[in-house]
Amino acid sequence: MPYYRQVGEIPHKRHTAFRKPDGGLYAEELMGVEGFSADSALLYHRGLPTAIVDAVAIEDERGPITPNHPLKPRAFKTQDLKFGDADAVTDRRRLFGNADVTIGFVHATRPSPLYRNAAGDELFYVQGGSATVETIYGSLEVGDGDYLVIPTSCTYRVLPHDDDGGVKLLTIEARGHIGPPKRYLSAKGQFLEHSPYCERDIRGPSEPLVVDGTDVEVLVRHRAGLTRYTYATHPFDVVGWDGCLYPWAFNIDDFEPITGRVHQPPPVHQTFEGPNFVVCSFCPRKVDYHPESIPVPYNHANVDSDELMFYVRGNYEARKGSGIEVGSLSLHPSGFTHGPQPGAAEASIGAQFFDETAVMVDTFAPLDLGEAADASEDHRYAWTWSGRGPGA
Ligand SMILES: [Fe+2]
């Protein structure tokens, strides 16, 4: 996240003696990306962030991913996935994945273990409920419609709120960093006037989170798998930090849609970019106002992308009649031309407003299918444009 933030106590000059009340030194840590050549934060710990007393290999139980073969447009219903008393880290179920990104879903109702993902940034979309996300930078409250970006190697845990029925999360794990589209940022990182959201819409931790504890376990996802560290003291021991690298949230309702006289292409809805993927927000909006405009999309062969849509509110205009509901996902792979369901183009002419909300993930490499995709697929979807399937 490109703009500067300061929380808690920090010394006036970086890399100078900063002392605790007992006279000892706070331990300074620089957390930075791209080898000291990009955004970073300086954090001041009561204990040593290096002091581990154990490291144990943990089995990764996410299961295999399989290619989309035969190649088909597919739909899935996250609302049909079963979760017991789940946590947002270890009970996350994998829907899709490739070398760049892993996409999962969880309905979490109990606290997660302390966790950090050293393989890349994580992006959550909150589909319902609410939670407190505690991090080494401080806490963030998240609720329906929030996006939350958690930087690589940021230790955190998710505490779902019981009185809200827990929290439902679409989880997007990158092999790299996730941020706002660069075209919306100035050379120095300020959001530009044509950006659909800006600094005022963004929330970050506002006060330190300091927890006492010894021999504290932290689950670490890294390139080779999962390792459980035991730290001598609690990792939530940061009394202050400053910099431009920290977890941040903003709500999809604060994304201001860009509209036009005729149909606007998906890049106007872009919200984030990651390595070899983008995330877009389709929000309730006034639609195309040319008198003869067709507000739903034209058929399109976006030949370099797999297009995943997560339908989160309303009744998506272009998909009416396809079985898509709130909680559904559609996957339109490269190699398949997709478009509105039959009748949707005609029905949309003259519409003034679309009351629909969807989150789209476009990946530049094909998405393979995980166990949660297999468990929730609506196998009728591929044939909904023709109205008949094989043998019919
Ligand atoms: Fe599309």
Q: How far is the CA of 233 from the centre of ligand 1 (A)?
A: 49
Does 338 carry a binding-site annotation?
yes
Whether 30 is in a domain gets the answer no
Whether 3 is in a domain gets the answer no
Domain count, the chain: 2
Q: How far is the CA of 108 from the centre of ligand 1 (A)?
A: 30
Q: How far is the CA of 251 from the centre of ligand 1 (A)?
A: 23
Q: How far is the CA of 1 from the centre of ligand 1 (A)?
A: 28
Catalytic residues, which ones? 263
Least trusted range by pLDDT, from 274-283, 293-302, 311-320:
311-320
Does 317 carry a binding-site annotation?
no
Does 290 carry a binding-site annotation?
no
Q: Are residues 200 and 281 both part of a single domain?
A: no
More confident residue, 253 or 3: 253
pLDDT at residue number 39? 94
Domain boundaries, position 173? 50-64+80-237+246-252
Q: How far is the CA of 189 from the centre of ligand 1 (A)?
A: 30
Q: Are residues 169 and 276 both part of a single domain?
A: no
Please identify, among 252, 285, 319, the residue that sits at the C-terminal boundary of a domain. Answer: 252
| Beta carbons of 374 and 315 less than 8 angstroms apart | no
Q: What is the pLDDT of residues 29-59, one digit of tens each?
A: 999 999 999 999 999 999 999 999 999 999 9
Q: What is the pLDDT of residues 208-240, one digit of tens each?
A: 999 999 999 999 999 999 999 999 999 999 999
Q: Are residues 89 and 144 both part of a single domain?
A: yes
pLDDT at residue number 318? 78
Does 26 carry a binding-site annotation?
no
Please identify, among 195, 223, 252, the residue that sits at the C-terminal boundary of a domain. Answer: 252
Q: What is the pLDDT of residues 181-199, one digit of tens each?
A: 999 999 999 999 999 999 9
Whether 26 is in a domain gets the answer no
Q: Are residues 102 and 222 both part of a single domain?
A: yes
Q: Are residues 157 and 221 both part of a single domain?
A: yes
End-to-end CA, the chain:
52
pLDDT at 105 over 90: yes
Whether 123 is in a domain gets the answer yes
Q: How far is the CA of 294 from the centre of ligand 1 (A)?
A: 15
| Residues above pLDDT 70, as percent of the chain | 99
Q: Are residues 229 and 260 both part of a single domain?
A: no
Q: How far is the CA of 345 from the centre of ligand 1 (A)?
A: 14
Residue 301 sits in a domain of what CATH number? 2.60.120.10
Q: Are residues 231 and 357 both part of a single domain?
A: no
pLDDT at residue number 322? 86
Q: Are residues 257 and 377 both part of a single domain?
A: yes
User: For the residues 278-296, what does the mean pLDDT come to?
Assistant: 95
Q: Are residues 117 and 217 both part of a single domain?
A: yes
Q: Are residues 185 and 265 both part of a single domain?
A: no
Whether 225 is in a domain gets the answer yes
- Please state, rounded to an integer, the average pLDDT across all residues of the chain: 96
pLDDT at 390 over 90: no
Whether 269 is in a domain gets the answer yes
Least trusted range by pLDDT, from 172-181, 201-210, 278-287, 313-322:
313-322
Q: Are residues 229 and 258 both part of a single domain?
A: no
Q: Are residues 85 and 225 both part of a single domain?
A: yes
Q: How far is the CA of 333 from the centre of ligand 1 (A)?
A: 10
pLDDT at 73 over 90: yes
Please identify, among 185, 220, 252, the residue that sits at the C-terminal boundary of a domain. Answer: 252
pLDDT at residue number 2? 64
Q: How far is the CA of 277 from the centre of ligand 1 (A)?
A: 14
Q: What is the pLDDT of residues 128-180, one digit of tens each?
A: 999 999 999 999 999 999 999 999 999 999 999 999 999 999 999 999 999 99
Q: How many CA atoms lie within 13 A of 245 on its CB side?
A: 21
pLDDT at 362 over 60: yes
Closest CA to 335 of 365, 373, 369, 378: 365
Q: How far is the CA of 122 from the centre of ligand 1 (A)?
A: 24
- The structure tokens 């899709």 sit at 96
